[in-house]
Structures are given as structure tokens and as C-alpha cells.
Amino acid sequence: MQVNGLLDPPNAALIMKSLREADIDRASLLVFQLDGSGAVSVDTNSLVQAVHDSPVPVTVWVGPSGGEARGASALLALASSYVSVAPGAHIGPIVPADFDRTLHLSGAAKRVAAGVATTPIVTHRMSGKTAQAAKLIDGTDPTLGQFIVGLNGRVLHTANGDVRMSTSKVVGVGANRRVQNNQIVSFRKLDLTQQLAHTLNTPWVAYFLFVAGLSLILFEFFTAGVGVAGVVGACALVGGCFGFSHLPVAPWAVGLLMFGIFGLAIDLQAGALGPWTFIGGGALVAGSIWLYDGADALDPAWWILVLVCGATLLFVLSGMTAMVRSRFSTPTIGREELIGEMGVAEVGVDPDGIVRVRDALWRARTNRATPIAAGEAVRVVAVEGILLEVEPEAGGARDYRDRSGRH
């Protein structure tokens, strides 16, 4: 069974399911290829107890090179019958075991922690060679195949008693002799749906999707209708919220992220750089830094924060500003010439909407007492920056050019 990353609900379900099925199928051995960290939104005590109480021998290989087992993953490894760490991989520290809350150890988890309480593995990361020298693990096998073959003849503890392993055989003769597995080895890991959920539970992925979703929805707000950006933004926002539901997010920090995007939108609407740009940018950065309440291991790397915040600010202040100017610009030279012009409401104006005048799209506003439905004719009565004040064709015969100072 391949277990990677956080011990979240998908990985916890995979572990429990594999233990049950190994028992039902009367498997001779269950091996976890482990490259994991702490737990979020799962009961670590139950996982460790299930591994400890398995009637099937459970072993853990931490690898490949560069892999690790820390936090709850380290507890899980130490609760198994046999542990090996690949060269270049590491095990520990155990603390913190749960990344989203303080873990009160009980049952097998408490016994495992008590057994290593006086060793550096509690608070430090250890290489396989160092951990083996301290008699915390059993071996340092470079590959999974060598790990399984190396179990041959070893006696492993299970809930039903000790079991002597028979995992290899010699094939060939003379110089062609080699050792290989003596039985069928099957591999299992998360299916596509579980893998998607596991990916969304990754802290930096959930953070990125949430901010990207808000930015794309803001982009769609300043365009007429609903397009690809709006759909992608909504999907990204849902994905980010799904990840947040399993992670220890600070609600006030999420609020800061939303407030930051809102602040940027104010100056975007005004069409110029103003105080809200700095307020919104500051809120976005602060919300990103203090987003997660749990262990520091959950915090996105500094370069991810710089990349997401920088890209968002650049997208809003540069790309979206250019889009808004292009979208709502007019081919005529004098905007005052638009007063009195007739047009059509592309999007209902109640009190704000989009109108088409002289083949150009404009943001428009009308009196709340005279809403204009999409497709109805409108008359321009005033121009304020890139915003047109309009009224329905009926009752709009009064000439507003005198009010503007033109004759």
C-alpha cells in the first residue's frame, strides 16, 4: 500500500481498508510504502491501534530516497512489526503528530511514544543509518523489492502471535542464481477520486485554488455574462473550500483574503490606483501568512506566498485594469458627444448593468425607480468617467446637454 503526504481522510481510509482486506484475504504480509507526514482531520490513535492489532504482519518501508515519515506517519511506522528506511530517506520527528490540533495519545499510540520518549526521534529527524544504530528501526533497504526479500526468515509480531516470514526463493543455477519474491505481490494506492481529494487537502493547493478562484470570479464580474473564467473560478473556489474543510484554517484569515480581493476591486472599479489598492494588498498578504492555525508544517513555503500574492496583484492591477479599459472603452473621441445617444441594454440595468452605445460596451447606471431590462432601448443622460447614466427611451426626451454645459 502506497501512502504519501498528509495522513488525511483519504489516506486514513486507505490504511484502514487495507488492514481489513489483508485480514479477510488472509494475506501473508502487508507492506506500507510510506512517504508521509502529520495527520489532519483524522484519529491518529485509531490508526496506530489498528496497525498494532492487525492479525496480519504489518511492515513499513520509508522510501524511496528523499522520502520521510514524520509526525503521525512516524508513529504509524514505529507501531508496525518491522521498519526499514531507505538510504537518503528519514524518519521523525514525531512531534507534532497531528498538524491540526494537540494530540492526546492513548492506546497503542501512547505505548509507541513512551517506548521512544528518551530518544532524539521525538523532536529530530533521523537518517535510516542513525535510527538503526539507535535501535529504533530494523533495517535500511534501498528498494522495496530488497525490503520484501530481506524479510525472509524473520519472525514478526502480530495480534495473533509471532509469524515466521517466507518471502523469497532462489531461482536459476550457477552464475545465474538470484533471489526473488516467492509469491504474488500486488500494489494498491488511492484511486482517482481519493487522489483528487488528497490533492485538494494539500495546504498550498487549497490556498492557491481559493485565491485563484476569487480572482477569476472578480475578473468575470467585470465582463458581460458568464464565461470560461467564471466557471473555472467557481470550480477553483469550491476546490479550495473543500481543502479548507479538512485543514485548520483561521476564519479571520479567510475573511482577510476575501476582503483583500474586495479592496482591490474598489480601485479597479474606479479605474485608478488608490488607497484601497494598498489596503486590499495588505489584507491579502496578512491573510496568506496567518491562514493556518495548526503546525508550522502546514504553512505554504515563502516562495509560494510571494508567487500567489504577487501574481494576484499583477493580475488585478495590470491585466484586469487593461481588460476593463478595453472592454468599456468607446471608439468616439469626445465622450460628451454620447449624451443623448440611444443604445441597447446588453445586461439588465437595475440600477447597474451593461449597455451598448455606438458599438461599444459601457458600464451603466439608472435610477432605481426606472429599471431597464436586457434588450430594451436606453438613452444616455450623463457621463461620469467610464460610467454612463442612462434612462429608458420612454420618458427620456428631456435633453441633458444643457446640464453638461454644452449648447
Give strand ranges (E) for 8-160. 30-39, 58-62, 68-69, 82-85, 90-91, 126-127, 155-158
Q: Which grid coordinates are listed for 230?
A: 467564471
Residue carrying the nine cell digits 431590462: 373
Q: What's the domain range around 361?
A: 335-392
Q: What's the longest Cα–Cα distance across the chain?
A: 109
Q: Is residue 368 part of a domain?
A: yes
* Single-letter amino acid code for the residue at 310: G
Which pLDDT score is estimated for 327?
58
* Single-letter amino acid code for the residue at 271: G
Q: Same structural domain for residues 269 and 321?
A: yes
Q: Same structural domain for residues 48 and 123?
A: yes
Which pLDDT score is estimated for 56?
96
Q: Is residue 192 part of a domain?
A: no
Q: Same structural domain for residues 270 and 306?
A: yes
**Number of helices and strands in the chain (H, E):** 13, 16
Q: Which grid coordinates are listed for 354?
A: 451593461
Measure the CA–CA gap between 44 and 391, rounded to whole angstroms.
64
Q: Same structural domain for residues 122 and 265?
A: no
The backbone torsions φ and ψ at residue 204, rounded to the nearest 5 degrees and listed phi first, read -70, -30
Measure the CA–CA gap between 306 and 312, rounded to whole angstroms.
10
Q: Same structural domain for residues 21 and 168?
A: yes
Q: Is residue 34 part of a domain?
A: yes
pLDDT tens for the chain, residues 1 to 407: 999 999 999 999 999 999 999 999 999 999 999 999 999 999 999 999 999 999 999 999 999 999 999 999 999 999 999 999 999 999 999 999 999 887 888 889 999 999 999 999 999 999 999 999 999 999 999 999 899 999 999 999 999 999 999 998 888 777 777 788 888 888 889 999 999 999 999 999 999 999 999 998 888 877 755 678 889 999 999 999 999 999 999 999 999 999 999 988 887 776 667 788 899 999 999 999 999 998 899 999 999 999 999 999 888 877 666 666 655 554 544 566 788 889 999 988 888 889 998 888 888 898 877 888 899 999 998 888 778 899 998 755 444 444 444 44
Which pLDDT score is estimated for 335?
60
Q: Same structural domain for residues 224 and 172?
A: no
Measure the CA–CA gap between 58 and 43, rounded to whole angstroms.
19
Q: Same structural domain for residues 319 and 339?
A: no
Q: Is residue 399 part of a domain?
A: no
Q: Same structural domain for residues 241 and 303?
A: yes
Pairing of strands 155-158, 126-127: unpaired
What CATH number does the domain containing 385 carry?
2.40.50.140
CA torsion angle 315 321 324 330 (round to 10): -150
CA–CA distances in Å: residue 283 to residues 238, 260, 291, 311, 313: 22, 5, 11, 15, 12
Q: Which grid coordinates are listed for 174?
A: 550457477
Domains held by the chain: number:
3
- With a CB cutoff of 8 Å and minimum separation 6, the contacts of 283 are 256, 257, 259, 260, 263
Q: What is the DSSP letter of 301?
A: P
> Which of 241, 261, 252, 323 lies closest to 290 in space, CA to CA?
252
Q: Same structural domain for residues 143 and 278?
A: no
Q: Same structural domain for residues 141 and 237?
A: no
Q: Is residue 284 part of a domain?
A: yes
Measure the CA–CA gap between 331 and 322, rounded to whole angstroms.
16
Q: Which grid coordinates are listed for 126?
A: 533521523
Pairing of strands 30-39, 58-62: parallel
Which pLDDT score is estimated for 405?
46
How many C-beta atoms lie closer than 10 Å to residue 374's C-beta? 14
Measure the CA–CA gap between 46 and 13, rounded to whole angstroms.
11
- With a CB cutoff of 8 Å and minimum separation 6, the contacts of 244 are 206, 210, 254
> Residue 355 in contact with residue 346, Cβ under 8 Å?
yes
